[in-house]
Chains A and B, each alone.
Chain A
Amino acid sequence: MFIQISGQNKSTDESINDIDKLWKGIREGRSESLSGLFCISYSWLFNYGFKIVPKEDFIKDTIQELFLNVWKRRDGINKAISVKSYLFSSLRRIIMRRLQKQRNRTQRNHSYDENHFKEIYNIEEVIIHFETSKEKKEQLKLAMESLSERQKEAIYLKFYNGLSNNEIAEVMGINKQSVYNHVSKAIAEMQDYVT
């Protein structure tokens, strides 16, 4: 695995159509549709999961579990309003459940939460992107670091993955107003540096 800097991972209308078609295929019992959805969504699911728990094998396993669950439950799954947010929220639940199991087993308090959405932006790249002055560099760094995990997760889902506030609320298990607040506070921190 390697790390690179990237722009957004937003779905176009065309890819949303593809995802919806594949979802329909899965519900009709076509395993090739499951493989197709796996290929389309793997990168953004992996990226999201890795920001919650930065362990490659752990995230690969959780994605496998997610898709096996989708297949096992294909008869019962409904026509999800947003397949993308369904996949994100299901992956998040699996990760959290596995972390909880690990904690219960080891009876230790240390967890992956310390790393949860620690780094979503590459500060050096952001400084170039904002064309900010050297004087503001440290302030910008502090501003980025001062964002809470929830704020980072919300803006990551919004601006990198193109989810709506409703979809983010579903994924994060919070209400729409809380998403609005997280996004707004994060923007307020950043907008001082936009020239």
Chain B
Amino acid sequence: MNNKFTLDNSLLVKLLNDESFIRWLDGRVSDREQKKWDKWFLENSRHRELVKKARKITTMPFVDHKPADLQKELKILEKKLNNLTKEHG
């Protein structure tokens, strides 16, 4: 079951630590990077499989704690800023 030490898994770890690869995965790369990774992707089926795995890991669903009232917090901040301005003339 444990396949942590295969070559592909080592490569997956390496890829997910590569900022350029992550940018490509997210679709926010420069043209030059885009071409480089597109070429790499098409080189062989192993790479396509790695991309599939990488996407699975980077898009894992996180728990999101959503704050209730941003406008209320913004008003508090603006009031504090006003007080600060008054204090300092």
Q: Which residues of A contact B (CB under 8 A)?
A: 1-10, 12-13, 31, 34-35, 38-39, 42-43, 46-47, 50-51, 54, 56, 60, 63-64, 67-68, 71-72, 119-122, 125-126, 129-130, 139, 156, 158-160, 162, 164-165, 180, 183-184, 187-188, 190-192, 194
- Select one of B3, B12, B60 contacting A159, CB under 8 A: B60
Binding site for A on B (CB under 8 A): 1-4, 9, 12-13, 16-17, 19, 22, 26, 28, 53, 56-68, 70, 73-74, 76-78, 80-81, 84
Task: Report the bound CA distance from A164 to B16 in whole Å.
Answer: 11
Given A165-B17, A191-B4, does the pair A5, B12 have CB atoms closer than 8 Å?
no
Min C-beta distance of B54 to chain A, whole Å: 9
Name the distance in Å between A43's Cβ and chain B's nearest Cβ. Answer: 7
From the candidates A67, A119, A162, name the one contacting B63 in the complex (CB within 8 A).
A119
Contact check: which of B2, B56, B62 meets A6 at CB < 8 Å? Answer: B62
Residues of B close to A6: CB separation below 8 A? 61-64
Contact of B26 among A10, A35, A39 (CB under 8 A): A10
Q: Determine whether the beta carbon of B62 is less than 8 Å from that of A5.
A: yes
On whether the beta carbons of B64 and A47 are closer than 8 Å, the reply is: yes
From A8, A12, A188, contact of B13 by CB (8 A): A188
Main secondary structure of the interface of A (DSSP, over half): helix
The residue from A31, A120, A129, A158 contacting B59, defined by CB atoms under 8 A apart:
A129
Tell me whether A129 and B56 are in contact in the complex, defined as CB-CB below 8 angstroms, given that A35-B74, A38-B77 are known contacts. yes
Residues of B within 8 A of A130 (CB): 56, 60
The verdict on A194 contacting B62 (CB below 8 Å), with A31-B81, A68-B84, A165-B19 known, is no
Closest chain A CB from B61 CB (angstroms)? 4
Contacts of B64 in A (CB 8 A): 3-6, 9, 47
A180 to B18: give the CA distance in the assembly, Å: 10
B68 CB contact (under 8 Å) in A1, A5, A120, A180: A1
Q: Which residue of A lies closest to B18 (CB)?
A: A165
Given contacts A47-B65, A121-B62, A191-B3, list 16 more A-B pairs with CB under 8 A: A8-B59, A38-B77, A50-B65, A54-B65, A68-B77, A119-B63, A159-B59, A165-B19, A183-B13, A187-B13, A188-B9, A191-B53, A192-B1, A192-B4, A194-B53, A194-B57
Q: How far is the CA of A61 from the CA of B65 in the complex (A)?
A: 16
B4 touches which of A13, A126, A188 (Cβ 8 Å)? A188
**Closest Cβ neighbor of A4 among chain B residues:** B64
The answer to whether B74 and A3 have CB atoms under 8 Å apart is no
From A31, A46, A187, residue with most partner B Cβ within 10 Å? A187
Cβ A42 vs Cβ B26 within 8 A: no
